Structure 1
Amino acid sequence: MRLILVVLSAVLVSSCISNKRINYLQNLKGNEPIALGEFIPYAEVDYEYVLQPYDIVDIDFASSNEELLRAFNYQGAAAGRGGGSGGAGGGAMDIFYFSGYSLDKDGFVRMPVLGQLKLSGLTEEMARNKVQEAISIYFKEDVEVRLRIGGIRYTTLGEFNSVGPKIILKNRATIFDAISMAGESNILARKNELFLIRQYDGGTRIHQINLNDRQLLASPFYFIQPNDILYLQPMQIRQIGSGENFSASLQLGISIITAMMFIYGISSGIF
């Protein structure tokens, strides 16, 4: 009987998950506490996103010479931009895939009349200025260029309710926007060990993010960037059962004890 109680207690203790491992944005011990209502300035990041091969950009023009302007747009591109929403899962609503301009493997975009322009390695503003300079040659009057990234594409892996490619049709989104679009992360996820795989010009880095830590709001990883990959690892508790709530843990414990009693009964000749 004592053995059974010990086993049951061990199962319940190991299967229950503390709220400290689940709750987002806590004031963790050792960090400067952030009070509710306190103003948190964004992190001063010395890195500005630059366009990369296979990015998609939305480029549009405005001028009083509408007849000439039509020569610089693919037929149907403007119509393809209509509609849309603030975000979309997967690629089903990736409107800019059809209406935007994709950078090729060498970082070039091909545009009507203007031909090939290399935009990789440039910020949005630098790329806009480059297109502006190229198209201004053909206009006597002013022409205005608008260039922006065609949404934020990222990928979720691991302990999310929905994994795979995602797109947020905004030019800025937080890491919690990305998580909520993928579905609330699984309760068995290691929220203190979110791996963020981020592409930089010429390479990739892996960063470890703690979603339990309120200091995340002031970190350079609070906002996601195009082509980010978010990977959540499972807790070790998955190895012995789901343990997502007390009833599941209790049911697991009862199953183990029943099996032990059955084996004991057979070995002692009771059955």
Structure 2
Amino acid sequence: MKRPAFIFLIFILASSCISNKRITYLQNLPGNEEINLDEFIPFAAVDYKYVLQPFDIVDIDFASSDPELTEAFEFQGARNMRGGGMMGGAGGGGGDLFFFTGYSIDEKGYVEIPKLGKIKISGLTEEEAKDVVQEAINVYFKDDVFVRLRMAGIRYTTLGEFGSSGTKVILRNRATIFDALAASGESNILAKRNKLFIIRHYDGGTKIHQINLNDRALLNSPFYFIQNNDILYLEPMKIRQFGNADNLSSGLQLFGTFLASALLLIGLLTN
């Protein structure tokens, strides 16, 4: 084989390799203020509180010294499921307990509670929504029934180069982007970690944001924490066309063999 052809082959194979810089999380990237180990990093939105939106699901509990008082404000089916402890894999996005036992906010921002009727809670924080429901229930029982309202977990969807794509539920009231990655089987080596797209819902519409998982500055980003109903999409690298993460090695070997054979044939024909 002629030397130029051999050099070209080496160049192609080398360009197919994936640099560690493209797959390593939280690096100090050029152009950004350096963040050292053990350095305190304040959150970008330390006072942020999630505002409830239409189609969210909230968990509302009622407590009283007289159990018969609280039964009037709960659906019978939901109460039975709570008592039976039917979690059904809610943490992994399979069966979701709160889909059946929680209160869904409709498109106009209302939840419907037995005896109390429809109460608008969209546009409010958890604490504000709790106060609104508590005021409504105090009309019937002054200081006898207490209300607890909270988000029924954080639901988000992963698409693209994740270990596991689909809708997930994290049973917490706050979760980071890395919590979401871990719950989704992390991203594979063929993902463009410097280009994670977040499709986020806002009042009246959505926005597409892009973050860099390789950049340590993400820790001080407003997108460090995921929100309910976020959609996370990871694009594949161009090398993805030669195989997925599981068979990348085989794909590269096949590609290298094919290219070497083609260059060998060209070399023989040009001699």
Same structural fold, with TM-score higher than 0.5 when normalized by the shorter chain: yes
Report what 1:105 is aligned to: 107
Is 1:253 the counterpart of 2:256? The answer is yes
Report what 1:58 is aligned to: 59
> Equivalent residue of 1:154, what SS?
strand
1:100, distance to aligned residue in structure 2 (A): 0.3
1:180, distance to aligned residue in structure 2 (A): 1.2
Counterpart amino acid of residue 54 in structure 1: F
The alpha-carbon distance between structure 1 residues 48 and 189, as it changes in their structure 2 partners (threshold 3 A), is same
- The 8 Å contact of residues 242 and 252 in structure 2, kept in 1 or not, is answered as no
* Cα RMSD after superposing both structures: 2.5
The alpha-carbon distance between structure 1 residues 234 and 186, as it changes in their structure 2 partners (threshold 3 A), is same
Report what 1:129 is aligned to: 131
**TM-score normalised according to structure 1 size:** 0.89
Return the structure number with greater relative CO, CA threshold 8 A, min gap 6. 1
CA distance in 1, matches of 2:110, 2:50: 17
Query: Which deviations, in whole Å up to 9, do the C-alpha atoms of 1:27-72 show, x marking residues without a partner?
Result: 1112222222222221236753211111100001111232122111
- The 8 Å contact of residues 88 and 97 in structure 2, kept in 1 or not, is answered as no
CA distance in 2, matches of 1:86, 1:241: 32
Report what 2:217 is aligned to: 215
Report what 1:71 is aligned to: 72
1:23, distance to aligned residue in structure 2 (A): 0.2
Question: Aligned match of 1:89 in 92, 116, 129?
Answer: 92
> Equivalent residue of 1:177, what SS?
helix
CA distance in 1, matches of 2:166, 2:113: 30
Counterpart amino acid of residue 164 in structure 2: S
The alpha-carbon distance between structure 1 residues 69 and 102, as it changes in their structure 2 partners (threshold 3 A), is same
The alpha-carbon distance between structure 1 residues 45 and 37, as it changes in their structure 2 partners (threshold 3 A), is closer
1:218, distance to aligned residue in structure 2 (A): 1.4
Query: Which deviations, in whole Å up to 9, do the C-alpha atoms of 1:208-244 show, x marking residues without a partner?
Result: 1000011111111111010001011111233456698
> Equivalent residue of 2:194, what SS?
strand
CA distance in 1, matches of 2:248, 2:27: 21
Query: Which deviations, in whole Å up to 9, do the C-alpha atoms of 1:95-132 show, x marking residues without a partner?
Result: 10010011112221111101111111111111111100
CA distance in 2, matches of 1:229, 1:213: 20
Report what 1:38 is aligned to: 39
**TM-score normalised according to structure 2 size:** 0.89
Is 1:178 the counterpart of 2:180? The answer is yes
Question: Aligned match of 2:151 in 146, 149, 152?
Answer: 149
* Percentage identity across paired residues of the two chains: 62
The list of structure 1 runs, each at least 4 consecutive aligned residues, that deviate by more than 4 angstroms after superposition, is 239-248, 262-265
Counterpart amino acid of residue 253 in structure 1: G
Counterpart amino acid of residue 71 in structure 1: A
Query: Which deviations, in whole Å up to 9, do the C-alpha atoms of 1:189-222 show, x marking residues without a partner?
Result: 1111101111112221111100001111111111
1:246, distance to aligned residue in structure 2 (A): 7.0
Query: Which deviations, in whole Å up to 9, do the C-alpha atoms of 1:140-180 show, x marking residues without a partner?
Result: 44321100111111011111121121111111111011111
- The 8 Å contact of residues 89 and 95 in structure 2, kept in 1 or not, is answered as no
